[in-house]
Amino acid sequence: MMWRVRTTLGDHPGALADLAARCGEAGLNILGLQVFPGDVGVTDELVIAGPDGTDDADVARVLAADDPSSTSITRCDARSLRDAPTRWLEAARQVASGGPDLAHVLEDLLETDPPDVAEYAGHDQISVPGPSGDVVVRRAVGFTPAEQARASALASLVTTLLPPAADDESAPPPTPVGTAPTGATSLRIGGPADAQALVELHARCSEETLLRRYHAPMNRVITTRLARRLASPEDGTALVVEAGDRVVAHGLLVAVDQGAYDRWELALLVEDSWQRRGLGVALLKHAARHAKAEGAQELTFVTQASNDAFLRTVGRAGFTARIRRRDDVVEIVTSLRDVRARHASPDATVLAPTA
């Protein structure tokens, strides 16, 4: 088992050495270390592992005995060992490519998972301006000035790379939400040639549907630059469902964590008049097989807690999921252990006719 320990030490020589010595005497192995300088003292974050039989109370006795008010201890996993600068750079690329939204990425980077070990610090929050409004991230463990600066820099970079859709005057005006025709649909891998079709798909979607997809108010007129990223992401795969000569659904499958803890994320957008016709289930199943073929162990989805329809879609697809709630957002994690891997083919797969 691993723990993440954050403690504020006095700014004097030997403070960190004393802490390391206590860990050594207790058989706790320090696997990772970050140092956050502050106005008063220095905050050190350690990722530690203990020998068999070590429990939460043992860790607290060693590392929080001197000053419990300045120490927090939470359980963690292999994600906490990844190089922090690399994770932040990858996150900027993911958001700018139309992948996970800024709020979800910040929650992942800042590891805001509810702690399951006794906390010694109060609640804190970070608020940064995002492309579609302010993004607020909350955590029981206090944020350091360095983390706040990183979050602000990431938000500024993403806003620069991904400006509000209304700024793109070349995009066509939104059209009313249409009435779905009947007939067969086909599912295939997307590509750069689908960018204009995705602009038109967004224009036909309601504001509520776009809110569920992007977790923030979204203009129905998206930029052609965003459409190109959605059609051909650098770090993932686009899936599109066609009906006749138009795209009526889109799935964005993005690798958000690679290495020892392989995790991909899927975001779905289905045109209003084509919802409840099985397109979401088909996209989900196809994405799971593709992610498994790429080495993923888990597939995650993020949606509003009130989006019961999507929760039912996951169930209809036959997946067993873990659900984690964060305020009004739900993260759904599905294991791909029993999914049969299949490399997605560029050829279209014809889906069942819809009524």
**pLDDT the model gives residue 335:** 84
- Residue 91, domain member (yes or no): no
Q: Are residues 244 and 298 in the same domain?
A: yes
User: pTM of the prediction?
Assistant: 0.56
DSSP state of 110: T
- Residue 90, domain member (yes or no): no
**pLDDT the model gives residue 118:** 39
Residue identified by tokens 């010694």 is 120
Residues 79 and 39 sit within 8 Å (Cβ to Cβ): no
Q: Are residues 179 and 321 in the same domain?
A: yes
Q: Are residues 110 and 203 in the same domain?
A: no
Closest residue by Cα to residue 179 from 204, 196, 197? 204
Q: Which helix (H) or strand (E) holds 246?
A: strand 246-257
Q: Are residues 194 and 334 in the same domain?
A: yes
Q: Are residues 77 and 186 in the same domain?
A: no
- In a 3-state reduction of DSSP, which class is residue 203? helix
Q: Are residues 65 and 155 in the same domain?
A: no
Q: Are residues 73 and 52 in the same domain?
A: yes
**pLDDT the model gives residue 120:** 38
DSSP bridge pairs for 43: 8, 36
Q: Are residues 150 and 183 in the same domain?
A: no
| CA gap 52, 102 in Å, rounded | 38
Residue identified by tokens 């300045």 is 70
Closest residue by Cα to residue 105 from 135, 83, 81? 135
Q: Are residues 191 and 336 in the same domain?
A: yes
Could you give the angle at which helices 102-109 and 84-96 cross, rounded to 10 degrees?
Answer: 170
User: Mind listing the pLDDT tens digit for each residue in 287-326?
Assistant: 888 888 888 888 888 877 777 777 777 777 777 778 777 6
**pLDDT the model gives residue 239:** 92
- Give the domain range for residue 272: 170-350
- Residue 58, domain member (yes or no): yes
Full pLDDT tens readout for the chain, 355 residues:
888 888 877 767 787 888 888 888 889 999 888 888 766 667 888 888 988 888 888 888 888 766 656 788 888 877 777 778 888 888 887 777 666 778 888 888 887 765 444 343 445 788 888 776 778 888 777 777 788 888 888 888 877 766 554 444 444 444 444 444 555 788 989 999 999 999 999 999 998 888 888 877 777 888 888 889 899 988 889 999 998 888 999 999 988 866 555 788 889 999 998 888 888 888 888 988 888 888 888 888 887 777 777 777 777 777 777 877 766 777 888 888 877 766 545 455 656 544 4
- Residue 86, domain member (yes or no): no
Token code pair at residue 234:
């650098």
> Which domain CATH number covers 302?
3.40.630.30
Q: How many domains does the chain have?
A: 3
Q: Are residues 318 and 184 in the same domain?
A: yes
| CA gap 268, 310 in Å, rounded | 10
Residues 228 and 195 sit within 8 Å (Cβ to Cβ): yes
**pLDDT the model gives residue 17:** 85
AA identity, residue 91? A
Token code pair at residue 65:
């005995």
Q: Are residues 191 and 149 in the same domain?
A: no
